[in-house]
Amino acid sequence: MSDATKDDLLQKPISRRDMLKLGAAGGVGLLLGAGGLTGVLAGTGMLKDSAKAADAQTAGDTVPFYGKHQAGIVTPAQDFICLGAFDVTTTDLGALRTLFQKWTEASAKLAQGQGVGDESGNPILPPVDTGEAMGLNAAGITITFGVGASLFDGRFGLGSKRPAALVDLPAFGGDELQPEWTGGDIAVQVCANDPQVAFHALRNLARIARGKAVLRWVQDGFQRTRTADPNGSTPRNLLGFKDGTNNPDVKKADVADDIVWATQADGANWMADGTYMIMRRIRMRIEVWDRTHLNEQEATFGRHRDSGAPLGEKDEFAPLDFAKQDDKGKLMIPMNSHVAVANMGGKVKIHRRGYSYSSGIDLKTGQLDAGLLFICFNRDPRRQFIPMQQALAAQDKLNEYIVHVGSAIFAVLPGAKAGGCIGETLF
Amino acid sequence: MSDATKDDLLQKPISRRDMLKLGAAGGVGLLLGAGGLTGVLAGTGMLKDSAKAADAQTAGDTVPFYGKHQAGIVTPAQDFICLGAFDVTTTDLGALRTLFQKWTEASAKLAQGQGVGDESGNPILPPVDTGEAMGLNAAGITITFGVGASLFDGRFGLGSKRPAALVDLPAFGGDELQPEWTGGDIAVQVCANDPQVAFHALRNLARIARGKAVLRWVQDGFQRTRTADPNGSTPRNLLGFKDGTNNPDVKKADVADDIVWATQADGANWMADGTYMIMRRIRMRIEVWDRTHLNEQEATFGRHRDSGAPLGEKDEFAPLDFAKQDDKGKLMIPMNSHVAVANMGGKVKIHRRGYSYSSGIDLKTGQLDAGLLFICFNRDPRRQFIPMQQALAAQDKLNEYIVHVGSAIFAVLPGAKAGGCIGETLF
């Protein structure tokens, strides 16, 4: 769209190239961090109707990067994830600080649907932005930064700042962790409604890190897209079951405060308004599962496959009643079912935000290397994720069909205001 | 949507669950092979307006499975691909014939947005369908079958039927082929506008093949989605350049006849209305490319990165003029640029239908394992793909930044009529 007019803009969604032009023409770009694209366009009369605005909001629109908390945590899950862990190669704290400054500035641009630098570029230099997202809209992108326990190992003199809640995860029964899918000094979680937009962001952030940090592992993931499920019902995992029916509603501030956001009282002052992220790469033994009877599958999850309802119920969102018995006095929901064990008496909650992954064939077995890229956020893993995973590792019937092959824990940094820097409370 | 009414259907896109109900209620399912979902719903007054119909047609709708040619070849490229190659483990031609019969029936259901069997299932048997696409629409899915040269090696007595055009690809200069990404007895290409819908199809087809064929390799791929680029402009590859600007318009029957569809005259009678598919897994040396000046990048492709226009032009679709010189008498488009070498004097054309891939980190180098899942269709690789790739391997400046690590060639079978079977002309 090389000769964009306002009429064009009325007809067409806004690309990152258009945004650069709008920004250059009227300084509109600066407003986006606060209100998002839809707000700006509605304010300037550039959107025809609220339906288009709603569409943009859920799929192609921008999500503000700056804020009290980082985006991508209580943000409703986008369709795709590109999750990378970095190992830091510099031992200079100043260089690390500079890296986070550059990452913050780049991420704020990416969140607005822009490239990380002048897209036309200087012909006798490498382009600042790698270009594969030119012409694409922001696709709801969020970029979320966390730091691993290894960053506090003495290289940077940060040892005394390690939060008590950023524990080394204990060994869980059944773990078969592979080093190439485990750990990392820094996590960068990119989520978007388009995989090319997500890949572009992680790639450009890795490029900015050159000489200071290198990628340790990268895992892509997906959920059913809005294209295939415009109503946004509960996603199904690759075992065919709805996954996330009973998730706490972290859109409510008090729920998020209770489950997700760290406070000063939780330990390190610098982590207030941050959270803790756990990644588990959980491979599914798909071929074994596919040979299992439906009854057994449903007893494994504790829910009906078709409706997602608790066993014995019809409605997906029916309350879980772990005392309910069938006419022979047998518990409707087995005590070792996934839903029963994970429930933890209703007292322990985490905010899950996972994706499915499919990574081709495992050359050793010839079977599909596919499963769940489990991601959760919680304010204190010692009281939330760890006891829950210990219970699951010990009792969950689902363990017959899954194996945890990757693991990492990160302290997800507090958000930053425009002009500030992610990590400024730590470094 | 457990209590679907016609009113519901007016408001909501149609899922594979709804389709089962519609089919059961009025036998509508049988019509879908011919006209697609939109046609059926329009005919029954179940679509409110043509805008919704157009939307469905491009994203969530069905593409007919049965026809003179297989779908997924001249079908406009969907957003995602899940491409698998199988090794046949049975040596019984009858078993192979049965497999294609079952695959045909399953694929016809999948193409209609249904599961491969009764989704509710018999509780004391494994579910017939694995379930992860329940509630999702068809997402424009196509499933396309091909057979490799190795299927004609004598196991099945098919040696005399091997088409002359199904050659073993010659070694190309610079190839670094890895066995795990090369060859295969059978190819199954699944394309859809949702990755979970695509994965579900390949997985269920692999499950149906149990005891007869096993997956040899699987590669997922993506293009920019309709979400991020609702106008569907030319996709960019992961080197940031538009890829496909000059593709022949195979929507035109005469162009497709000229480039894509095999005829009896081309060799094997049984391949009439089929075509030949070549897969090349082309890894991009992304980190090297990202250090290269924009001028050099543009000289490598022969196009401007920003607009996609030929060097010296402004418009993406400006004709390629390989004689045009700058004011110093230098050719505007270098003779060793990708576009110049691939042009082959305008005499050799193929139908490309590739996707980008991103498969995490290469553990050996720590670099991104990402690039192009090159796929093309042509009526005779001896006159089309092979000479073009020989020229590219010898001269293309792009070779500094890419390496071919996987390769396969398949005879893509003719289409089948409803009631027929893919492969019926061969087996």
**Residue A89: other Cβ atoms inside 10 A:** 13
**pLDDT band at B366; cut points 50, 70, 90:** confident
Distance (Å, rounded) from C-alpha B16 to C-alpha B110?
A: 9
pLDDT of residue A252: 97
Q: Measured between CA atoms, how close is B16 to chain A, in angstroms?
A: 10
pLDDT of residue B54: 40
Strand partners, A408: A279
pLDDT of residue B16: 53
- Per-residue pLDDT tens digits for A149-179: 999 998 999 999 999 999 999 999 999 999 9
Q: What angle do CA A296, A297, A299 make, to 5 degrees?
A: 60
B195–A297 CB contact, under 8 Å: no
**pLDDT band at B50; cut points 50, 70, 90:** very low
DSSP A67: S
- Chain B neighbors of A356, CB-CB under 8 A: 132, 196, 199
B370–A122 CB contact, under 8 Å: no
Asked whether the predicted pLDDT for residue B19 surpasses 80, the reply is no
Distance (Å, rounded) from C-alpha A82 to C-alpha A221?
A: 7
pLDDT of residue A16: 54
- Residues in Cβ contact with A359 at an 8 Å cutoff, skipping those fewer than 6 apart: A219, A369, A370, B359, B360
Residue B395 phi/psi, 5-degree rounding, is -125, -20
B195–A222 CB contact, under 8 Å: yes
- Chain A neighbors of B401, CB-CB under 8 A: none
In chain B, how many domains are there?
Answer: 2
Contact by Cβ (8 Å): B422, B104: yes
Distance (Å, rounded) from C-alpha A225 to C-alpha A221?
A: 12
A360–B217 CB contact, under 8 Å: yes
B360–A363 CB contact, under 8 Å: no
Average pLDDT over every residue of A60-76: 96
A13–B216 CB contact, under 8 Å: no
Report if residue B303 sits inside a domain: yes
Average pLDDT over every residue of A122-137: 94
- Per-residue pLDDT tens digits for A10-21: 334 445 544 444
- Per-residue pLDDT tens digits for B115-146: 998 756 688 999 999 999 999 999 999 999 99
Strand partners, B84: B188, B218
**Residue A23: other Cβ atoms inside 10 A:** 16
Q: Where are the beta strands (DSSP E) in A193-322?
A: 213-222, 275-284
- Per-residue pLDDT tens digits for B213-231: 999 999 999 999 999 999 8
Cα torsion for B204, B206, B208, B211, to the nearest 10°? Answer: -160
Report if residue A128 sits inside a domain: no
Average pLDDT over every residue of A128-146: 97
Q: Measured between CA atoms, how close is B366 to chain A, in angstroms?
A: 7
**pLDDT band at A87; cut points 50, 70, 90:** very high
Pairing outcome for strands B142-148 and A213-222: unpaired
Identify which of B148, B184, B122 has the alpha carbon closest to the alpha carbon of residue B406: B184
**Residue A418: other Cβ atoms inside 10 A:** 13
pLDDT of residue A54: 40
Residue B217 phi/psi, 5-degree rounding, is -150, 155
Q: Which residue, chain included where needed, has tokens 């892509």?
A: A220
Domain span holding position B328:
284-409
Residue A285, CB-side half-sphere exposure with 13 Å CA sphere: 12
Token duo for residue A222: 């997906």
Which of B124, B180, B224 shows the shortest C-beta gap to A196? B224
| Contacts A–B by Cβ distance under 8 A | 238
pLDDT of residue B139: 97
Distance (Å, rounded) from C-alpha B198 to C-alpha B219?
A: 11
Residue scoring higher pLDDT (B382 or A55): B382
Report if residue A185 sits inside a domain: no
Q: Which residue, chain included where needed, has tokens 């990048």?
A: B297
Token duo for residue A218: 């990268």
Which of A123, A196, A207 shows the shortest C-beta gap to B290? A207
User: By mean pLDDT, which of A40-49, A123-132, B77-86, B301-310 is the weakest?
Assistant: A40-49
Which segments of A170-230 does DSSP mark as H helices, in order? Answer: 195-208
Report if residue A310 sits inside a domain: yes
The percentage of chain B sitting over the pLDDT mark of 70, rounded to a whole number, equals 85
Asked whether the predicted pLDDT for residue A308 surpasses 90, the reply is yes
B224–A124 CB contact, under 8 Å: no
Radius of gyration of chain B (CA): 22
Nearest CA in chain A to B125: A293
- Chain A neighbors of B59, CB-CB under 8 A: 227
Identify which of B114, B117, B120, B121 has the alpha carbon closest to the alpha carbon of residue B135: B114
Q: Measured between CA atoms, how close is B110 to chain A, in angstroms?
A: 13
Asked whether the predicted pLDDT for residue A340 surpasses 60, the reply is yes
Q: Measured between CA atoms, how close is B127 to chain A, in angstroms?
A: 6
Q: Which residue, chain included where needed, has tokens 């004391």?
A: B124
Query: What ipTM was estimated for this complex?
Result: 0.88
Contact by Cβ (8 Å): A88, A96: yes
Distance (Å, rounded) from C-alpha B43 to C-alpha B48?
A: 11
Pairing outcome for strands A142-148 and A402-412: antiparallel
Q: Where are the beta strands (DSSP E) in B274-366?
A: 275-284, 351-352, 355-362
A194–B292 CB contact, under 8 Å: no
Strand partners, A409: A278
Residue scoring higher pLDDT (A262 or A43): A262
- Per-residue pLDDT tens digits for A192-223: 999 999 999 999 999 999 999 999 999 999 99
- Per-residue pLDDT tens digits for B320-344: 999 999 999 999 999 999 999 999 9
Q: Which residue, chain included where needed, has tokens 């330990």?
A: A267
How buried is residue A95: exposed, middle or buried, by Cβ count under 10 Å (0-12/13-18/19+)? Answer: middle
Q: Measured between CA atoms, how close is A383 to chain B, in angstroms?
A: 32
Token duo for residue B233: 């402009």
B59–A122 CB contact, under 8 Å: no
Which of A137, A207, A294 shows the shortest C-beta gap to B228? A137
Which segments of A194-284 does DSSP mark as H helices, in order? Answer: 195-208, 253-259
- Chain B neighbors of A293, CB-CB under 8 A: 123-126
DSSP string over B11-61: HSPPPHHHHHHHHHHHSTHHHHHHHHHHHHHHHTT--S-HHHHHHHHHTTS
Report if residue B299 sits inside a domain: yes
Distance (Å, rounded) from C-alpha A372 to C-alpha A83?
A: 13
How buried is residue B346: exposed, middle or buried, by Cβ count under 10 Å (0-12/13-18/19+)? Answer: exposed
Q: What angle do CA B369, B373, B377 make, to 5 degrees?
A: 165
A132–B292 CB contact, under 8 Å: no
Nearest CA in chain B to A132: B240
Asked whether the predicted pLDDT for residue B2 surpasses 50, the reply is no
B241–A134 CB contact, under 8 Å: no
A228–B197 CB contact, under 8 Å: yes
**pLDDT band at A265; cut points 50, 70, 90:** confident
* 3-state secondary structure (DSSP) of residue A362: strand
Report if residue B52 sits inside a domain: yes
Distance (Å, rounded) from C-alpha A140 to C-alpha A132?
A: 17
- Chain A neighbors of B233, CB-CB under 8 A: 135
Q: Which residue, chain included where needed, has tokens 């079958």?
A: B145
B368–A224 CB contact, under 8 Å: no
**pLDDT band at A34; cut points 50, 70, 90:** very low
- Residues B173-198: b if buried by 16+ CB within 10 A, e if exposed: eebebeeebbbbbbbbbbbbbbbbbb
Which of B136, B291, B366 shows the shortest C-beta gap to A228? B136
How buried is residue A321: exposed, middle or buried, by Cβ count under 10 Å (0-12/13-18/19+)? Answer: middle
Distance (Å, rounded) from C-alpha B195 to C-alpha A99?
A: 34
pLDDT of residue B58: 60
Residue scoring higher pLDDT (A231 or A57): A231
**pLDDT band at B15; cut points 50, 70, 90:** low
A224–B136 CB contact, under 8 Å: yes
- Chain B neighbors of A59, CB-CB under 8 A: 227
A132–B216 CB contact, under 8 Å: no
* 3-state secondary structure (DSSP) of residue A388: helix
Which of A126, A239, A286 shows the shortest C-beta gap to B290? A126
B236–A134 CB contact, under 8 Å: yes
Cα torsion for A179, A185, A190, A195, to the nearest 10°? Answer: -40
Distance (Å, rounded) from C-alpha A139 to C-alpha A126?
A: 26
* Mutation site for A-interface testing, chosen from B49, B57, B210, B225 by largest number of A Cβ within 10 Å: B225
Report if residue A234 sits inside a domain: no
- Residues in Cβ contact with A117 at an 8 Å cutoff, skipping those fewer than 6 apart: A127, A128, A129
Residue B286 phi/psi, 5-degree rounding, is -60, -40
pLDDT of residue B154: 87
B199–A231 CB contact, under 8 Å: no
Identify which of B127, B115, B210, B200 has the alpha carbon closest to the alpha carbon of residue A296: B127
B136–A229 CB contact, under 8 Å: yes
- Residues in Cβ contact with B164 at an 8 Å cutoff, skipping those fewer than 6 apart: B267, B268, B382
Q: Measured between CA atoms, how close is B114 to chain A, in angstroms?
A: 13
Nearest CA in chain A to B131: A240
B124–A294 CB contact, under 8 Å: yes
* Mutation site for B-interface testing, chosen from A19, A227, A296, A362 by largest number of B Cβ within 10 Å: A227
Which of A120, A218, A233 shows the shortest C-beta gap to B135? A233
pLDDT of residue A15: 53
Nearest CA in chain A to B141: A228
Asked whether the predicted pLDDT for residue B34 surpasses 80, the reply is no
DSSP A126: -
**pLDDT band at B418; cut points 50, 70, 90:** very high
